[in-house]
Amino acid sequence: MQPYPKPFLNIQEYDVQESFIQVLKNRFKQYGFNQVKTPAFETYDLYSSVQGTIALDDMIKFISPDGKVLVLRPDVTIPITQLAISQNDEFEKEARYSYILDVFRTSFQAKYGYVKTQAGVELLGNPHAEADMEVISLAIDCLLDLEFTNFKIEMGHAGVVNEILRMLSLSKEQEDQFKQLIISKNFTGLEEFLSRLDIEPSMKESLLTIPLLYGKPDEVLNKALSLSLTNKMTSALHRLKEVFSMLTEYGFRDYIVIDLGLISSMSYYSDITFQGYIENIGKPVLFGGRYDNLAEQFASPIPAIGFAYDVDTLLSARSNPLPVREQVVIRFDEQNISVAMQLTKRLRALHYRTILSNRNEGASGTYVITITESDKTVMYEGETEPFNSEEQLLLLLQSLKEENTCNR
């Protein structure tokens, strides 16, 4: 058995993955994010010295020839933060980074072979609500570009739960239990848990209600504000309300729900957090949030927010059939090989995927061009059309392509 048995993608599956990635790259670029690539191998110290990130046991470790402990890239946010600090002495302006990279963790399911492809962005240097809106709207636009329609972005705020934990002064074991009750929306269990603590009845009502609030933003936020226990909690709720208002104005109101019990495994999130769900997929395809305090561990405080798509899960969420693999195959006889070669060169210059071969008949979705002394035709899906010139052929190819696109 192979040590990391990630499934092999066939040609068609690989094409779909590449088309997904290209759509994401294009949208990232439209929002002004510049693509970067971090090293596949990083020093163990980069992650072990940063709190709130990947569990140390979750990292795949190696010993370098000079005896240093290295890890395969388990996360992208931390090395990009380090990169941003090294390139910017003072963050007086924004820095926008995007990436499409593999990350490696032992906790990934066996079918992924300890490796998953992530596509994400990091926006550093802007602490304001419009930056939150910008990143979340980008996440929504990407899903729409990929032709997903039945999805929701759940928004929460780490400050709400963190403020509750500060008020309760729980042990580490109690904190973990409390968080698990919130994640599972276990009202009965949470009620029993709070009954064992010495807290006032009025506070208990808020603690039972606020972290379990979920649903329509206006209703959830108004209810939470009426029960808010501290100024910090109120400030967090107002930030959520401000960002939601911006997303509404941008036209994305219907894609947002509020989950005040949203808790990420990455404890470096300090403010707004969010995750994306697609209909009939039982786990998130998207994780993100604001992590204003992370860079402080590199001695350079920088406000930041970002997200990452789980590309593998995103691909598995497809409900429509895989697209056909469009290409052109040019067949010829000996007398017309020069003509066929020149046509091949021209089509490739026009960005057609073109194969010059008499042995390739072409699979579904292939335009088969035949050039012989007695025959000049283009065939697509069983339909054959004659042509007399290159210009006529190009018009035929464009017409067939547009017709095929409309019929999908």
Instruction: Reduce the secondary structure of 290-310 to three states and give it as a string.
Output: ECCCHHHHHCCCCCEEEEEEE
C-alpha–C-alpha distance, residues 352 and 345, integer Å: 10
268 annotated to a ligand binding site: yes
Question: What is the CA 408 to chain-centroid distance, rounded?
Answer: 26
Who contacts 102 (Cβ-Cβ below 8 Å, separation ≥6)?
A: 40, 73, 115, 116, 117, 118
- Residue 296 DSSP code: G
Has 105 been labeled as part of a binding site? yes
State residue 1's pLDDT score. Answer: 37
- Greatest CA separation found in the chain? 94
Q: Does the annotation flag 353 for ligand binding?
A: no
CA distance 388 to 391: 8
Q: Is 277 annotated as a binding residue?
A: no
* C-alpha torsion sign, points 315, 149, 257, 26: positive
Question: Strand pairing partners for 354?
Answer: 328
Is 77 annotated as a binding-site member?
yes
What is the pLDDT at residue 101? 95
Answer yes or no: is 372 a known binding residue. Answer: no
What's the rounded Cα separation, in Å, for the pair 177 and 190? 9
- Spell out where 251-299 has E strands: 256-259, 272-278, 286-290
DSSP 3-state assignment of 30?
A: helix
Residue 87 pLDDT: 73
pLDDT at 168: 86
38 annotated among ligand-binding-site residues:
no
Q: Is residue 109 part of an annotated ligand binding site?
A: no
Q: Could you tell me how many helices (H) and strands (E) the chain has, helices first?
A: 13, 17
One-letter amino acid identity for 193? F
pLDDT of residue 404: 60
CA 56 remoteness from chain centre: 23
pLDDT in tens, the chain (408 residues): 344 555 566 667 777 788 889 999 999 999 999 999 999 998 888 887 777 677 888 888 989 898 889 988 988 988 888 888 777 666 567 889 999 999 998 877 656 678 889 999 999 989 999 999 999 999 999 999 998 989 999 999 999 988 888 888 888 888 888 889 998 888 899 889 888 888 888 788 888 889 899 999 999 999 999 988 899 999 999 999 999 999 999 999 999 999 998 988 777 788 999 999 998 888 899 999 998 888 777 767 788 999 999 998 888 887 665 555 568 999 999 999 999 999 999 999 888 889 999 887 766 668 899 999 988 998 887 788 899 888 999 888 888 766 665 555
Question: Starting at the edge strand that comes first in sequence, how are the strands of the sheet with 304-310 ordered?
Answer: 34-35, 95-104, 115-124, 304-310, 286-290, 272-278, 151-157, 256-259, 214-215
Domains along the sequence of the chain with CATH: 11-316 (3.30.930.10), 327-407 (3.40.50.800)
